[in-house]
Copies of this chain bind each other. A is one copy, B any other.
Amino acid sequence: MVSIKDVAESAGLSVATVSRALNGHPSVSDDARERVLAAAGTLGYRPNVVARSLRTHRTGTIGLVISDVLNPYFTELARAVEEEARELGYSVIIGNADERADLEDHHVRGLLDRRIDGLLVSPADGRSPMTLEAAAGDTPVVFVDRWITGVDVPVVRSDGRTAIADLVDHLHALGHRRLAIITGPAATTTGRERVDAFRAALAVHGLALPDEYVGRGDFQAESGRVCTERFLNLAEPPDVVFATDNLMALGALDEIGARGLRVPDDIALAAFDDIPWFSHTDPPITTIAQPTAELGRVAVRALTDLIAGAPASSTVLPAHLVVRRSCGEPETKGATRE
C-alpha cells in the first residue's frame, strides 16, 4: 500500500506538506499542492483512515445497533440513518442484535472498541451491560425507537398511544368487543407502552383486557404464530388480534391461514408498523404507521449535535392509524357482529 511517505518522496516534499495539501490546509503553495495531487494521483494513494483516526481521535463513523435486520421497520430506519449520516459526512456501521441481549452487547462493545464517534441504539431491554456502560460513558449515545427507563440518554421515538386509541375506537365501531394483543417482551419500552395504551383505550370503552387475551411475544414471526394459536384454542377466542409489530402479524397470519380461517370474517387482525406488503396481503392489513425514516433522520441529527458538543434533546413523533380491510369493512361501520 502506498503511504503518504511515498507521495512525499515522489513529490519531493515532506510528509507534513503532503498532509496539508491533501487536507486543503490554506498555507500550501499552489506549486506544492499541484505536485502533491499529481504524485498522489499517479501512485494511486488512498489515505489510511485507521492511522488518521488514531491520531485525530475521530473516526467519522457512527454505530447503529438495531433489534432485527429482517424486520422491514428496522431496515427502513437503518437506511434513513445511513442516508442522513452520509450527508453529514459520517459513515454508519450497523450491528444487528436479532432481539438478543447478548448480541446487542457484542455489537455495542465492538463499536466502542472501534472508537466510533457516536452510537445510536435501539435497546432490547435493560439487560445489556455494555449498553448501560456506553450510556454512562463519554461516547455520545442516542436511543432510537426503544429506550431504557431511568437511563439519561436522549430518545428519538414515536408515540403510538393516540393511534392505538384510534385503532380501538375503530375496532369498537366495527362491533368488536373481545380484543386481544400480542406484545413484545415486557422489558422493551415499546412492548410495555403498546399494551398499556391498548388497555387504557379499552377502558375508555368499558372493556377489560383479560390476561388470556395478552400474548407475550418477542417481536419475531414465530412468537406471533404461537400466541395466535393460544388465542384460537381458547374457549372464547378473541374477535381481533392486535400484533404489536409487523413480524408477529405475519406469524398470526400464518397460524390463521393454517387453520383455514378467514380474516376478518373469522377473526380480525391489526398490526403495528406499516410496510409496503400490508397493502397486498389477503386482506390488506389495518395498521399503525410510524414516521420511520423521519425517526432515523432526527436521531442522526440528535447524535451529531451531541458529538459536536451541543446539548441534544429527545424527540417524539406521532404515529397514525391506517385503516385497511383486515378488521372488517370500514363502510359497514356500526353493524354489530355478535
A residues adjacent to B (C-beta < 8 A): 44, 46-51, 53-54, 59, 69-70, 72, 75-76, 78-79, 82, 86, 91, 93-94, 96, 98, 106, 109-110, 112-115, 133, 221, 250, 253-254, 257, 276-277, 279-283
Task: Specify which of B48, B94, B277 is in contact with A115 (CB 8 Å cutoff).
Answer: B48
The verdict on A70 contacting B79 (CB below 8 Å), with A50-B53, A54-B54, A221-B276 known, is: yes
**Main SS of the interface on chain A?**
helix
In the complex, 20 of the A-B residue pairs with CB atoms within 8 angstroms, ordered by the A residue number, are A46-B112, A49-B114, A50-B59, A50-B115, A70-B72, A70-B79, A75-B75, A78-B96, A79-B96, A79-B98, A91-B110, A93-B93, A94-B94, A253-B280, A254-B279, A277-B277, A277-B281, A280-B282, A281-B281, A281-B282
Partner of A114, one of B50, B86, B106, B221: B50
B49 touches A115 (CB 8 A): yes
A54 in complex: contacting residue of B50, B106, B114, CB < 8 Å? B50
CA distance A49 to B44 in the complex (A): 26
- Chain B min CB distance to A294 (Å): 16
B-side contacts of A76, CB under 8 Å: 70
CB proximity of A120 to chain B, nearest CB, Å: 15
> In the complex, what distance in Å separates the CA atom of A283 from the CA atom of B79?
30
CB-CB under 8 A from A82, the residues of chain B are: 69, 96
Contacting residues, chain B, for A115 (C-beta < 8 A): 48-50
